[in-house]
Amino acid sequence: MRKLFICFFSFLTIICCFTILCIFLTEKTDLLGLKNYRVSASFTEENGDTLLSWSRYPYPCFYQVDTYYKTTGLVEGEPEYHKVASAYTMNDTYVVPPTAIPAYYRITAYGIFGKVSDDETLIPNGNYREPIRPVPITKYPADKPASLKPFLIWHSIPDGVLYELELLSGPPDTENTQSFSTTNHLYGTRQVFTNGLQIDLTPYRNLPVVYWRVRALNLRHEPLGVYSTAEPIYMDGHKAVPNKPVLNKFDRMPDFSQPIYPVFTWIPMLGAERYEVELLTKPPTQENNTDPTPDRYWAKTVTNAFSCYDEYARYYAGTYYWRVRGLDANGNTVGVYSDTDSFQVPNHITRPLVAAFGDSITHGGGAVSFSPASLEYSYTTYMDEPCINLGRSGDTSTTTLARFDRDVLPLRPKNLLIMTGSNSLRATHITGQMVINDLKQIVKKCQDNDIRPILMTLPPINPDNIMLAFHTPTDPNWRNKLEKINRYIRQQEYYIDLEPYFYDSTHTIMAPEWANDGLHADIRGKMVIGEVINMHKDLFKN
């Protein structure tokens, strides 16, 4: 009996070894031609999520899906593509992380003994086709009709300052054009400053179906691409009308995290003239109610808005919860509170390697309508090293200095990227020397606290675009101030020179293509800042 068992065990061992050898030879010698296998992929939209599907390998595999974005190509030494996320799955589908910018995906198959594919093809995200057009998120087919006041939401267009929406009684004359339909046009508006709105379809309730489409415009109301493909809206007059703001979480960069000074965003609702955001340290006792939470941590009211800036830095580690309600002219709640969202503040036990300190250029945001909650407009998003964002919108160099002890010292980062003074350039009552004096004190405070100060030169500005965006004049002496401030910065032991990248062909102002508003660099400009910082990582001390 013992000999029989030994023989059986030996037989199993041989079978196992032979099987493993076959697997090894299959994967390493490419007996099945797996190395040259090319996947075919497609994208579908499901409730705001983008699903990537691909043809499964003819071999048992698991898959690694890498997400990339394309770099600007303007900074020497940067790769053509930059990886921002990786994930693994046994399936042949994957919900890709939202990126808010054109993204590319690489699918790599792995067997027991490692990679079995050599396919290096990058698959572009289907939401960013040429010519560029918004892609609808909300859809109302015949089997899932809309109420008479539905939300229409679409994927945001990079650098789109506002959107033009058109309603039609039937399909447009031609799809994906840059002009209104000549035959079926019902209604149009350009008063849309975020990627969605709630619309009143009551005037069209007797139509069997209406169609909607939308296109993005820049600050000068010039089209960015074409209209989206017209989407039908089937209506049900008996369906309940949405009665709460929709939190705008649709296009977020991978691993989204709020900056130290958070910003909260939502899709506006009909009937609300103001919005009140409340911040909590625990979930509300009742969801979607009408009354404020009695022990809420903080609250703020904004008028005719779709975002709210927290004026306080949120340093204390833990989970924060927030929600928003609409208010009418008398302060009454319109409908109910939105759903509750949350964000985490990590516990920084050790000193972080690097933090960024400054005004709105550091805090984030761009294209006039995008806030720092849109991380594609933050240069820290494009840095190789994780970076804590200590920027605050609206700062002058003086107010940046004033909050150093409160905002920087609790973290004591080993390296502090410093860029402040752009708002000071615009002000006639602030001189270049005043900005330099503030920078000197910030540097001294860093040195006194074992923090390496790394100053970054200020980019030029564009007064005409600033006037167009904010209706405020710029100090005619701004160029002399800029030259003086940046000359001082270039004399420091540690600095990064950003200024040369942002001039127009005359080398006098910021090129219009860098910033819609002439001050805050848009996505490509924030990419350049991050890429230039990456080329100077040797400045960071560990």
How far is residue 535's CA from residue 542's CA, in Å, rounded to a whole number? 17
Q: Residues near 417 by Cβ (< 8 Å), separated by ≥ 6?
A: 354, 355, 356, 357, 358, 362, 387, 454, 456, 496, 533
Nearest partner of 245 among 270, 268, 273, 274, judged by Cα = 268
Reduced to 3 states (helix: H, G, I; strand: E, B; else coil), residue 282 is: coil
Contact of 224 with 157, CB cutoff 8 Å: yes
**What is the structure's pLDDT at 21?**
47
Identity of the residue numbered 362: T
Nearest partner of 212 among 280, 270, 135, 312, judged by Cα = 135
Mean pLDDT in order along the chain per 10 residues (542 residues): 55 55 49 66 81 86 91 91 90 86 90 75 86 93 97 95 96 89 91 96 96 96 95 96 96 87 97 97 96 95 94 92 96 97 86 96 95 95 94 96 96 97 93 97 98 98 95 96 98 97 94 94 96 95 88
Give the DSSP letter of residue 329.
T
**What is the structure's pLDDT at 35?**
62
Identity of the residue numbered 475: D
Q: Residues near 505 by Cβ (< 8 Å), separated by ≥ 6?
A: 511
How far is residue 69's CA from residue 101's CA, in Å, rounded to a whole number? 8
How many residues can be counted in the chain? Answer: 542
Give the right CATH number for 151-233 from 2.40.50, 2.60.40, 3.40.50, 3.30.450.
2.60.40
Give the right CATH number for 34-124 from 3.30.70, 2.40.10, 1.10.150, 2.60.40.
2.60.40
Strand 81-89, strand 41-46: pairing? unpaired
CA distances from 533 to 126, 239, 417, 422, 452 (A): 30, 53, 9, 19, 15
Contact of 371 with 309, CB cutoff 8 Å: yes
Structurally, what CATH architecture does the domain formed by 354-539 represent? 3-Layer(aba) Sandwich (3.40)
Residues of the chain within CATH 3.40.50.1110 domain(s) are: 354-539
**What is the structure's pLDDT at 483?**
97
**What is the structure's pLDDT at 25?**
45
* E strand or H helix at 527: helix 523-534
How far is residue 367's CA from residue 517's CA, in Å, rounded to a whole number? 7
**What is the structure's pLDDT at 4?**
54
**What is the structure's pLDDT at 232?**
98
**What is the structure's pLDDT at 349?**
66
Residues of the chain within CATH 2.60.40.10 domain(s) are: 246-345
Residue 333: half-sphere exposure toward Cβ, Cα within 13 Å? 15
Structure-token pair, residue 90? 């046994």
Give the count of beta carbons closer than 10 Å to the beta carbon of residue 293: 20
pTM of the model: 0.91
In sequence order, what DSSP letters do the residues of 265-276 get, joined into one string? EEE--TT-SEEE
Contact of 404 with 309, CB cutoff 8 Å: no
How far is residue 74's CA from residue 87's CA, in Å, rounded to a whole number? 29
**What is the structure's pLDDT at 3?**
58
Structure-token pair, residue 284? 């509300």
**What is the structure's pLDDT at 241?**
97
Residue 10's φ and ψ, nearest 5 degrees, are: -65, -40
Say yes or no: domain 246-345 is CATH 2.60.40.10.
yes
Q: Evaluate the CA torsion angle 281, 283, 287, 289 in order and state its sign.
A: negative
Give the DSSP letter of residue 509.
S
CA distances from 118 to 30, 96, 202, 426 (A): 11, 22, 56, 54
How far is residue 416's CA from residue 435's CA, in Å, rounded to a whole number? 18
Burial of 481 (0-12, 13-18, 19+ CB in 10 A): buried
How far is residue 411's CA from residue 421's CA, in Å, rounded to a whole number? 23
Contact of 458 with 487, CB cutoff 8 Å: no
Report residue 107 CA to chain centroid gap.
Answer: 23
* E strand or H helix at 426: helix 422-426
How far is residue 437's CA from residue 451's CA, in Å, rounded to a whole number? 19
**What is the structure's pLDDT at 222?**
94
Angle ∠(121,127,133) on CA atoms, nearest 5: 130
